[in-house]
Amino acid sequence: MRHKHGYRKLGRTSAHRKALLKNLAIALIEYEKIETGVFKAKELQSYIEKLVTTAKQADLNTHRYVFAHLQSKSATKKLISEIAPRYLERNGGYTRIQRTRLRRGDASPMAIIEFVS
Protein backbone atom coordinates (compact mmCIF):
# COMPACT_ATOMS: atom_id res chain seq x y z
CA MET A 1 0.00 0.00 0.00
CA ARG A 2 1.17 3.51 -0.71
CA HIS A 3 -0.58 5.41 2.07
CA LYS A 4 0.92 8.92 2.28
CA HIS A 5 3.83 7.89 0.05
CA GLY A 6 5.43 10.99 -1.48
CA TYR A 7 5.85 10.11 -5.17
CA ARG A 8 5.11 7.62 -7.93
CA LYS A 9 7.83 5.12 -8.80
CA LEU A 10 6.68 4.89 -12.45
CA GLY A 11 8.14 1.38 -12.72
CA ARG A 12 11.71 2.69 -12.84
CA THR A 13 14.82 2.77 -10.71
CA SER A 14 15.53 6.02 -8.89
CA ALA A 15 18.22 7.07 -11.38
CA HIS A 16 15.98 6.28 -14.36
CA ARG A 17 13.08 8.18 -12.77
CA LYS A 18 15.30 11.20 -12.08
CA ALA A 19 16.54 11.22 -15.70
CA LEU A 20 12.99 10.86 -17.01
CA LEU A 21 11.70 13.83 -15.00
CA LYS A 22 14.70 15.93 -15.99
CA ASN A 23 14.16 15.23 -19.70
CA LEU A 24 10.40 15.82 -19.50
CA ALA A 25 11.03 19.11 -17.69
CA ILE A 26 13.51 20.24 -20.36
CA ALA A 27 11.01 19.36 -23.10
CA LEU A 28 8.21 21.21 -21.30
CA ILE A 29 10.35 24.32 -20.87
CA GLU A 30 11.52 24.21 -24.49
CA TYR A 31 8.11 23.61 -26.12
CA GLU A 32 5.84 24.89 -23.29
CA LYS A 33 3.35 22.10 -24.07
CA ILE A 34 3.95 18.33 -24.31
CA GLU A 35 1.90 15.16 -24.42
CA THR A 36 2.83 12.29 -22.14
CA GLY A 37 1.23 9.68 -19.90
CA VAL A 38 -1.12 10.93 -17.19
CA PHE A 39 0.98 9.65 -14.29
CA LYS A 40 4.21 11.01 -15.75
CA ALA A 41 2.47 14.35 -16.23
CA LYS A 42 1.31 14.41 -12.61
CA GLU A 43 4.85 13.73 -11.36
CA LEU A 44 6.28 16.29 -13.79
CA GLN A 45 3.82 18.91 -12.53
CA SER A 46 5.17 18.67 -9.00
CA TYR A 47 8.78 18.70 -10.25
CA ILE A 48 8.43 21.71 -12.60
CA GLU A 49 6.34 23.85 -10.25
CA LYS A 50 9.04 23.70 -7.58
CA LEU A 51 11.60 24.80 -10.17
CA VAL A 52 9.44 27.71 -11.38
CA THR A 53 8.85 28.89 -7.81
CA THR A 54 12.60 28.90 -7.21
CA ALA A 55 13.34 30.51 -10.60
CA LYS A 56 11.18 33.54 -9.76
CA GLN A 57 14.02 34.91 -7.59
CA ALA A 58 16.44 35.11 -10.58
CA ASP A 59 19.83 35.41 -8.88
CA LEU A 60 23.09 33.46 -9.20
CA ASN A 61 22.13 30.81 -6.66
CA THR A 62 18.86 30.26 -8.50
CA HIS A 63 20.74 29.67 -11.76
CA ARG A 64 22.94 27.11 -10.02
CA TYR A 65 20.01 25.36 -8.33
CA VAL A 66 17.94 25.11 -11.52
CA PHE A 67 20.92 24.03 -13.62
CA ALA A 68 21.72 21.30 -11.07
CA HIS A 69 18.21 19.90 -11.58
CA LEU A 70 17.98 20.32 -15.37
CA GLN A 71 21.58 20.02 -16.63
CA SER A 72 20.65 22.13 -19.66
CA LYS A 73 21.95 25.67 -20.09
CA SER A 74 19.34 26.69 -22.66
CA ALA A 75 16.42 25.34 -20.60
CA THR A 76 17.76 27.00 -17.45
CA LYS A 77 18.13 30.33 -19.21
CA LYS A 78 14.65 30.16 -20.75
CA LEU A 79 13.03 29.17 -17.45
CA ILE A 80 14.64 32.00 -15.49
CA SER A 81 14.47 34.77 -18.10
CA GLU A 82 11.19 34.05 -19.95
CA ILE A 83 8.89 31.65 -18.10
CA ALA A 84 9.33 32.50 -14.40
CA PRO A 85 8.77 36.28 -14.81
CA ARG A 86 5.27 35.55 -16.17
CA TYR A 87 4.28 34.13 -12.78
CA LEU A 88 5.69 36.71 -10.36
CA GLU A 89 2.18 37.60 -9.16
CA ARG A 90 1.04 33.97 -9.01
CA ASN A 91 1.54 31.68 -5.99
CA GLY A 92 1.66 28.27 -7.64
CA GLY A 93 -0.50 26.55 -10.24
CA TYR A 94 1.83 27.29 -13.15
CA THR A 95 0.89 24.20 -15.16
CA ARG A 96 -2.31 22.57 -16.39
CA ILE A 97 -2.95 18.89 -17.18
CA GLN A 98 -5.66 17.95 -19.68
CA ARG A 99 -6.44 14.32 -20.39
CA THR A 100 -6.55 13.68 -24.12
CA ARG A 101 -6.89 10.07 -25.28
CA LEU A 102 -5.97 6.45 -24.77
CA ARG A 103 -2.74 5.49 -26.53
CA ARG A 104 -3.45 3.02 -29.31
CA GLY A 105 -0.68 0.52 -28.58
CA ASP A 106 -1.33 -0.15 -24.89
CA ALA A 107 -4.45 1.88 -24.04
CA SER A 108 -2.46 4.03 -21.63
CA PRO A 109 -4.20 7.28 -20.67
CA MET A 110 -2.43 10.28 -22.22
CA ALA A 111 -2.46 13.91 -21.16
CA ILE A 112 -1.20 17.30 -22.33
CA ILE A 113 0.75 19.30 -19.75
CA GLU A 114 1.30 22.97 -20.49
CA PHE A 115 2.14 26.23 -18.79
CA VAL A 116 -0.87 28.35 -17.83
CA SER A 117 -0.94 31.63 -19.73
DSSP class of 56: T
Q: Is the pLDDT of residue 2 over 80?
A: no
Mean pLDDT, rounded, for 18-38:
98
SS3 112: strand
Mean pLDDT, rounded, for 79-99:
97
Strands across the sheet containing 109-115? 33-37, 109-115, 95-102
Q: Is the pLDDT of residue 56 over 90?
A: yes
Q: Is the pLDDT of residue 40 over 90?
A: yes
Instruction: List the domains of the chain with CATH numbers.
Output: 14-115 (3.90.1030.10)
Give dist(CA 9, CA 17) in Å, integer: 7
Q: Is the pLDDT of residue 111 over 80?
A: yes
Mean pLDDT, rounded, for 25-32:
98
- Report which of 38, 63, 39 is spatially closest to residue 51, judged by C-alpha positions: 63
| Mean pLDDT, the chain, integer | 96
